[in-house]
Structure 1
Amino acid sequence: MAGTAGVALAALVGLTGCASSAPVSAQPTLDPDEDVSITFTFWGNDVRAELYNEAIAVFEEQHPNIDVDIIFLAPADYWEKRQIEAAGKGLPDVVTMDLAYLRQYSQSGSLLDLEPYLGTIIQTDPIDPQVLSAGVVDDVTTAVPLSTNSWGMFLNTTLLDELGVEPFTDGTWDDYYDWVAEVSDAAKAAGVDAWGGVDPTGRIENFELQLRAEGDNLFDEDGTPGFDEERLAEFWDSASAERDAGQFVPQQRIAEVQPLTAFDSALSASDATWDNTGAGFLGNLGEGYDIELIAPPLSVEDGEDLYLKASQMYSIAANSEHPAAAATLIDFLINSPESGEIFGTNRGLPASETARESANLDELSQTIADYEASIADRLGEAPPVPIVGYGSLHEKFRELSEEINFGTMSVDDAVSQFFAEMDVVISSQ
């Protein structure tokens, strides 16, 4: 999705305003005698599409007066279509929203203020308030999370057993780097094409977590960055010794196995990423591999670096003529036991306790649920909704990190380029 961020920004940057309030005539109740038709759009694959078809069929059976027209697109096409609709004030009634784009669509006035429907049509008691707050932009709720995930660290325990190295358990980032070196040295000695990990400074999320542990955000609510050039240089430099010593998976090997990652190619014994990535890792690694999920390193004692991220959300278009019916659909898709049973963890771990209790969690999904429960003491408040253009900054950070790992760019030059890009994005807010 990061690749389409520039397109979405270009179309929305000319639109100004804020989230639209519900029409005066709209009431936070649904008239069961009024026949209405609403549109609903989501991204995903054919498996998810079939699950949505099943869920919508149940919804329409329960609400015979509401007809739902489903619009399904692959992720690559989804946001390009939405930005065209938003520019023409023609978004579908219910839009599956991503946190990276929420501020863009909220501040352009494309999304409805959901406050009249929260606790009335859309039940909020089953959702953790911290998770629910992820849908708030400029003190207005414009989206409701349907699933959560958190940052974690996956370990390939099968590979570690082969190398005779104990899994990493906990410790500081320096402790983790020492462990990575131990794994990489063991792999080299055994003639195994593997390393202890990928360079964690290539992920802006790892930078964000370190800032949060220190009491800062990546970006504040007003778009002010919580770091300066010196702090970013310190982050990228923190792994320079391991890069120089060849302890991380070489960038060339990472490029060779794409679109797979180093972890699900069994090149890396560890990887820090979102916890809902596990199913994809196992599917790509294939039978015979076991993985473990632990909390990432923490270098600040008692730091509250982690948070529950809304992996997907639902919004109502400001142009919707039937917001009560749209809210009724959202409540069903988020909270109903039927939805929880149908989707399981296909959309992520259900944010609603009601849906989560009805979901049939497989072994990995239960592992993720247990993991998110285990990190309660490290969970802080969710960060502000990403600034407009965050997607392009996320991609720029990744590209510069690759250049550093290829050895084609110095850390100082990378910092300068990132700040130049960031200045452009912030100045357009």
Structure 2
Amino acid sequence: MFSKKRLAATAAVATTAALVLAGCAGGSAPEDAAPTFDPNEKVTLNLAFWGNDVRADLYNQAIEAFNEEYPNITVNSTFLTFPEFWEKRQTEAAGGGLPDVMQFDYSYLRQYSENGLLLDLDPYLGNIIETKPLDDKILKIGVVDDTTYAIPTSTNAWGMYTNPVLLEQAGVDEFAGGSWADYTEWMGEVTDAAGGQFYGGADYTGRIQNFELQLRSEGKNLFNEDGTAGFDEKRLKKFWEEGQDIRDGIGIPEQTVEELKPLGGFDSAKTASELTWDNFGAGYLANLGASYTELGLVAPPVTKEGAKDLYLKPSMLHAISANTKHPEAAATLVNFLINSPESGKIFGTNRGIPASSTALEAADLDPLSTQIKDYEESIADRLGDAPPVPIVGYGSLEEKFRVLGTELNYGTVTVDEAVDQFFAEMDVVLNQ
């Protein structure tokens, strides 16, 4: 963490952010601009994040610790639920009034950066924002068009949760790894042994992330940096056809899934496995109830041995508004919230497994968090660089993919019809 003395030194070489409004090019800090941050000057920053009262209390503690180091920087924080948070940001973006520092979601990073709404953080990396505690793969996550616009607070990876209680009841061993066909076969063994009480899993072809995993193993992206798709109709058809045996009785029926809402099959103890992001574990345990004290967590099936198909995804990031009047002070706050031991102690794993090694070392990890940390270390050989930052409109395509997966399970569309519908939707999104 940077002290006030070191901040004063870095302020002498730090650069100023250009003021930009929505839709304008910019957000960079010119190298010849004069520094505007005096470490003794009283500065006020606005900080916005999404979450609940628990997270708000943690941020208040972090701000209090930050002010012990930087008493001249006043931080005013506000929080909302996730949907309300982004509704508020869209309104502010239209008027050029985004908060100085924002908790940020990966799916919005390209949209906001390409519209000139976020500050170029590259001039602050290695001086105000420490980079040694952050792996290069983590730093690359916040890069759009060769410019760093955000820093991950925490990471997660795609994995497979399993239910040890159900597997014991079924008398089936943990999934030992293997291909997607091996996984389908294992699910079938669990479903048969359960005798209708529960199922081995759900149709994995309903999740676009599993499709992405297979594409990455083939050296392709789901969506390329230029916004084009990394697959064609034939490849998507092949993927959805893989799920036919699961839809024919191996996986949990879609009608049962519908009846379990708002819970899912896994956290209702109706499926013995779930492919998802590893930071979902705490929610699963909470929903399963007091009789569950642990979960299994193993790597997803392999498409091609040796492929770098997995990657670290940010649970969330921190970004700075391009029109902040105090870029160096804002960068100092971002550094504290991501890298400081105090931040690690305070937040623990509330925001996910800390991306910074100094914050992670200070965090008090519960058994599940330790399990997730160990899991991410165990898949190091499968971790590649993160894919290009999601295209604008990715969220709507992800939802369309899920809806079509649901309809495939109901049998209301054929695979060919689903492929046609998805490509029609994708054509609209990519060309809007």
TM-score by length of 2: 0.93
CA–CA distance in structure 2, aligned partners of residues 26 and 282 of structure 1: 52
- In structure 1, runs of 5+ residues without a counterpart are 1-13
Matches within 5 A, 1:229-240: 229-240=233-244
| Aligned Cα root-mean-square deviation (Å) | 1.3
CA–CA distance in structure 1, aligned partners of residues 22 and 59 of structure 2: 32
State whether residues 47 and 102 of structure 2, in contact with CA within 8 Å, keep that contact through their aligned partners in structure 1.
yes
> Aligned residue for 1:254?
257
Per-residue deviation, 1:224: 1.2
Task: Check if 1:51 corresponds to 2:58.
Answer: yes
> Aligned residue for 1:5?
none
Q: Deviations over 1:359-395 (max 9, x none)?
A: 0001000000000000011011110000011011111
**Letter in structure 1 aligned against 2:237:** A
Secondary structure at the counterpart of residue 313 of structure 1: strand
**Letter in structure 2 aligned against 1:293:** L
Query: Which of 257, 263, 266 is the equivalent residue of 1:263?
Result: 266
> Aligned residue for 2:39?
32
Per-residue deviation, 1:288: 2.1
Secondary structure at the counterpart of residue 310 of structure 1: strand
> Aligned residue for 1:7?
none
> Aligned residue for 1:121?
128
Secondary structure at the counterpart of residue 46 of structure 2: strand
CA–CA distance in structure 2, aligned partners of residues 196 and 103 of structure 1: 37
CA–CA distance in structure 1, aligned partners of residues 285 and 361 of structure 2: 24
Matches within 5 A, 1:10-409: 16-22=23-29, 25=33, 27=35, 30-188=37-195, 192=197, 194-244=198-248, 246-289=249-292, 290-409=294-413
> Aligned residue for 2:422?
418
> Which region of structure 1 is more displaced relative to structure 2, 16-25 or 389-398?
16-25
Secondary structure at the counterpart of residue 77 of structure 2: strand
CA–CA distance in structure 2, aligned partners of residues 357 and 240 of structure 1: 45
CA–CA distance in structure 2, aligned partners of residues 173 and 349 of structure 1: 28
Alignment: residue pair count: 410
CA–CA distance in structure 1, aligned partners of residues 26 and 311 of structure 2: 25
Per-residue deviation, 1:22: 2.5
State whether residues 344 and 361 of structure 2, in contact with CA within 8 Å, keep that contact through their aligned partners in structure 1.
yes
**Letter in structure 1 aligned against 2:341:** P
Q: Deviations over 1:56-108 (max 9, x none)?
A: 11112221110001010111211111111111111000011111000000000
State whether residues 201 and 251 of structure 2, in contact with CA within 8 Å, keep that contact through their aligned partners in structure 1.
yes
**Letter in structure 2 aligned against 1:178:** E
**Letter in structure 2 aligned against 1:214:** E
State whether residues 18 and 106 of structure 1, in contact with CA within 8 Å, keep that contact through their aligned partners in structure 2.
no
Per-residue deviation, 1:18: 4.1
CA–CA distance in structure 2, aligned partners of residues 398 and 26 of structure 1: 50
State whether residues 336 and 354 of structure 1, in contact with CA within 8 Å, keep that contact through their aligned partners in structure 2.
yes
Q: Deviations over 1:235-287 (max 9, x none)?
A: 1111102212x110111111111121110000000000000000001111112
CA–CA distance in structure 2, aligned partners of residues 91 and 169 of structure 1: 48
Q: Deviations over 1:293-324 (max 9, x none)?
A: 00000021211110011111111101100111
CA–CA distance in structure 2, aligned partners of residues 264 and 75 of structure 1: 22
State whether residues 51 and 82 of structure 2, in contact with CA within 8 Å, keep that contact through their aligned partners in structure 1.
yes
State whether residues 22 and 117 of structure 2, in contact with CA within 8 Å, keep that contact through their aligned partners in structure 1.
no
Per-residue deviation, 1:25: 4.3
CA–CA distance in structure 2, aligned partners of residues 313 and 410 of structure 1: 39
State whether residues 37 and 326 of structure 2, in contact with CA within 8 Å, keep that contact through their aligned partners in structure 1.
no
